[in-house]
A and B are shown apart, each in its own frame.
Chain A
Amino acid sequence: MSAAALSLEVRHASKAYGGVQALVDAGLDLVGGEVHGLIGENGAGKSTLIKLLAGLEAPDRMTARLNGSVIEIGDSAAAYRLGLRFIHQELNIVPALSVAENLFINNPLPRFGGIFIDWRALYRRAGQALHSLGIRHINPRRRASSLSAGDAMLVKIASAFIGEGDSGEPRIMIMDEPTAALNSAEVALLFDVIDRLRARGDALLYVTHRLDELFRIAQRVTVMRDGRIINSRAIAETSTSELITEMTGRSVADRRAGASVSSDEAAPRLIVRGLRTDAVAQASFSLASGEILGIAGLVGSGRTELLHALLGIAPLLAGSIELDGRTLPSLSPARAWQLGIAYVPEERRSQGLFLGDRVSQNITVPHLDRLSRLKMFLKRGEADALSRRLGEAVRLKSAGIGQRARQLSGGNQQKLLFARAILAQPRLILLDEPTRGVDVGAKYDIYRLIRRLAADGASILMVSSELDELIALCDRILLMRKGRAAEDLPAAGLTENELLERCYAFE
């Protein structure tokens, strides 16, 4: 390899998914000996860009140069051959194997005579790989299942440097939110490793939502928004608030079309006092009928877990939940639906839908008791008629109530879950990321639905990572930090920047 520093230059990267432009003419420069931070809101195009570099998606257009010469990244094997290494936030570690075997997972194990595994050489080389990154506390003979999340991440990183003829020449490493699941001690260890990689001349792309991390380890930072590169410059030339402004960017004012009116006179619909579960440290708040309360916070701050407590999925360790003046003794999802608590989960495919079943079955599942004769025989005609009516009410685009949920688009699948919630004639609706992964048209249909449900008197508790959406829809916003409901703010007059800064605020 030449003495010149490693460099990867990406130009004109563009990618559209079915008419939605996910990436527009993006460019990026990675240089050896530098950690390059990449930030942006969900849907800004970061993951798309990474997928193009990893050869997981074919670009509509892209020019990439490695050390000055043009390269083609046709598939993931090509990316690997070119020396690109990817660390994703999910740890695909095989728990049943040893650390050493996990390190060699993409490479042939050392052998005797071509057949038998040379265990001693395996452990020795694995130990060397870990030591070269300054990792001395992980024994290569350990079972991977006994590793903490942080150590598993370190093993994954070390595995990127094992391979035929991998004698320590610099690599291009792309890390996608590596600290998402790590605690602060583990993060410190990871940063030591990153510093070491940088020192030996690796070029790192570091994707994160945590801005404070960038100021600790990155030299450059690039901001993406709506599929475009907004700005790219040395980290020393910018500040947290400037980065946040660039990330969010858009004006909120024009979207605030009539947030619902709260009725303060009435007794609150929901009162939560001192709620604690294994994932929520403390939450107290109240919610009036017709009110929309947004829940903001970083990933892992306990937002989803708060909803789960109210649905009875996570048992209460302390505190009380009062609905319409009645303290709820102990909840289960079945009981919650009966009481008029409806839920639209975060992961609609794995937690919400019966993909192989018909639209009507998907809508009616929680309500079968009401659609039965003697709590036993299904009133099929009534169930079908109601499903049809609700499908129309949520503007579901389907080929009829007999269509399988699998065949619907993401937005229509989400509307299906709303139809299910509406059938509950809900008093309280729990929404978790209600517009994630839906197209723009469906998004506005969903906003309209949420407003109408509130206007009809339902109380709505809504978790969202899209801050503009929270500010535009909600009456109040409950801010969660590290499992605590830390602040309860009126949404009117709040800006995305303020909200984001409060999310990042230290306790």
Chain B
Amino acid sequence: MKDRGSTEPARAAFSPERFLRRYGTLVGFILIVIFFWTQRPGTFMTIPNWVNITRQMSILGVVAFTMTIVMVTGDFDLSIGALASLVGIVAGTTFQNDGAVGTAVALSLLVGAAGGLLNGVLVAYIGISAFVATLGTLTVFRGLALYISGGASIYGRVIPAEFSSFGRGAIPLGKIGATDLALPNLTILAILALIFVFIILNYTIVGRRLYAIGGNMEAARFGGIRINRLRLLSFVISGLGAAVAGLMLFSRLSTAHPTQGEGLMLQAIAAVFLGMTLSEESQPNVGGTLIGVLILGVLANGLTQMQIDTYIQQISTGAIIILAVTLSSLSGQQRHYGRWLRRALRRLPREGD
């Protein structure tokens, strides 16, 4: 993550309370891992299971990483789940019309970028709050997906084998002991997305400007940052992330259903929020988002292995998100959270606007 420690002013003496507030989410993650390890000693802490976890998380990872960029500027993108579904339908429809895999992928990315562009124009240039604008486009994208597909799933022989095998494929890395080790293709895509977002946010001037916009939009404008362009760009990247995730989901399931991406949006926002607890100033940061995604992925995997009802899984996942954010909000940091929320809320439309 960022090289924050080195130039920081001298810190006060260690206090467990502050430690928990700052790193509570990380500690919680480790505790969750230890818990599942003790509960399922034979299966949980094994290399194949962890490879499996990375594959299961990869799709959420891609959208959560790109969502981090949007949230750095203080906005949200609620439309990504619906956009991912729409992209799956676009690719599936291309296959139904005998399109090649390359054509389908290109069209999908185009649709993702166009969806992001629409969000960005609405938010940055027309000035609608991100919440309302992307709630609107969410509905539009969902409607489009249902309309194009006629509400039906696309699956079966129309889908080229090379496309559906990608989602299950892996690159062999050799043997460790008796087990074959292979890196799933989907995991590789997620890692590439992580690296891409990490570099953008931490090593480019665009990233510095995005953080400036999220920190103080008016100061950013007075300081010569072209805020509209950058907010637009962040939505386009989020749209592209949704497109990639939509393709990954389609490939892995070999099925495109017009609503199959819908769970992604809330989980992605939750992952970013979890990650924000790990930043001193409660800024979204992609390293934190990775931890957030890992927490959600490990919970799903571990609870499934313990054969816990999926409904109960949802309840416990939600509870853990609330717990993590509450913990980091206690005293000191709640001001930062409050600040982020107030900023976001201020951009909601108000009476008389």
Contacts and interface: CB of A to CB of B under 8 A. Distances in A.
Contacts of B8: 399-400, 402-403
Interface string A119-157: 000000000000000000000000001000000000000
A376 B222 contact: no
A332 B9 contact: no
Nearest to B279: A356
A313 to B, nearest CB: 7
A377 interface: yes
A462 B224 CA distance: 19
A338 B224 CA distance: 8
B220 interface: yes
A406 to B, nearest CB: 9
A401 interface: yes
The listed residue with most A CB atoms (<10 A of its CB), out of B216, B221, B225, is B216
Interface stretch (A28-36, A184-192, A260-268, A363-371): A363-371
Contact of A333 (B4, B206, B221, B281): B221
Interface size class of A (residues with CB under 8 A): 35 or more
A90 interface: no
Interface stretch (B59-67, B174-182, B207-215, B237-245): B207-215
B205 A368 contact: yes
Contact of B212 (A354, A399, A401, A402): A354
Nearest to A369: B205
A490 interface: no
Interface in A372-420: 372, 375-378, 380, 384, 399-404, 407, 420
B18 interface: no
B211 A357 contact: yes
A401 B9 CA distance: 9
A96 interface: yes
Interface string B217-242: 01111111110000000000000000
Contact of B223 (A350, A355, A365, A407): A365
Contacts of B212: 354, 357, 361, 365
A402 B7 contact: yes
A311 B281 contact: no
A332 B226 contact: yes
Contacts of A313: 221-222
A380 B8 CA distance: 16
A336 B224 contact: yes
Contacts of A366: 223-225
Candidate in A313, A350, A351 with the most chain B CB atoms within 10 angstroms: A351
Interface in A313-364: 313, 332-334, 336-338, 343, 345, 350-358, 361, 364
Contacts of A350: 216, 218-219
A95 interface: yes
A334 B226 contact: yes
A443 B204 CA distance: 36
Contacts of B6: 402
Interface of A is mostly: mixed
Contacts of B215: 354-357
Contacts of B102: none
Contacts of A407: 9
A333 B122 CA distance: 22
Contacts, number: 107
Interface residues of B, number: 32
Contact of B209 (A345, A365, A384): A365
Nearest to A424: B224
Given A337-B224, A357-B215, A401-B7, A365 B204 contact: no
Contacts of B226: 332, 334
B141 to A, nearest CB: 31
Given A96-B351, A354-B212, A399-B9, A345 B205 contact: no
A96 B9 contact: no
Nearest to B224: A337
Given A345-B222, A356-B336, A401-B7, A377 B208 contact: no
B196 interface: no
Contact of B208 (A145, A338, A365, A384): A365
B10 interface: yes
Contacts of B204: 372, 376-378
A345 B222 CA distance: 8
Nearest to B282: A356
Contacts of B218: 350-351
Could you say which of B8, B206, B208 has the most chain A C-beta atoms within 10 Å of its C-beta?
B208
B216 A354 contact: yes
Interface in B158-205: 203-205
Contacts of B283: 356
Interface in A47-66: none
B150 interface: no
Contacts of A353: 216, 219
B344 to A, nearest CB: 15
A377 B224 CA distance: 18
A366 B205 CA distance: 10
B203 A377 contact: yes
Nearest to A401: B7
A334 B225 contact: yes
B222 A95 contact: no
Contact of A354 (B9, B207, B219, B351): B219
A353 B222 CA distance: 10
B352 interface: yes
Contacts of A378: 203-205, 207-208
A343 B222 contact: yes
Interface in B315-353: 336, 339, 351-352
Contacts of B281: 356-357, 404
A334 B283 CA distance: 25
- Residue among B211, B212, B219 facing the most chain A CB atoms (10 A cut-off): B219
A366 to B, nearest CB: 4
A352 B219 contact: yes
Contacts of A311: 222
A399 B11 CA distance: 11
A337 B221 CA distance: 11
A333 B224 contact: yes
Select the residue from B207, B225, B336 with max chain A CB neighbours within 10 A: B225
A404 B224 CA distance: 21
B336 A333 contact: no
A371 B204 CA distance: 10
Nearest to B209: A368
A127 B60 CA distance: 59
B206 A337 contact: no
Given A345-B222, A402-B8, A361 B208 contact: yes
Contacts of A357: 211-212, 215, 281
A85 B140 CA distance: 53
A85 to B, nearest CB: 28
Contacts of A95: 351-352
A330 to B, nearest CB: 14
Given A351-B222, A356-B336, 17 more contacts: A96-B352, A145-B351, A333-B221, A333-B223, A334-B224, A350-B218, A352-B222, A365-B223, A365-B225, A366-B223, A372-B205, A376-B205, A377-B203, A377-B205, A400-B8, A402-B4, A402-B8
17 contacts: A95-B351, A95-B352, A333-B223, A337-B224, A345-B222, A350-B216, A351-B222, A352-B222, A353-B216, A357-B211, A357-B281, A358-B7, A361-B211, A369-B205, A378-B208, A403-B8, A420-B223
Nearest 3 pairs between A and B by C-beta? Answer: A402-B7, A399-B9, A337-B224
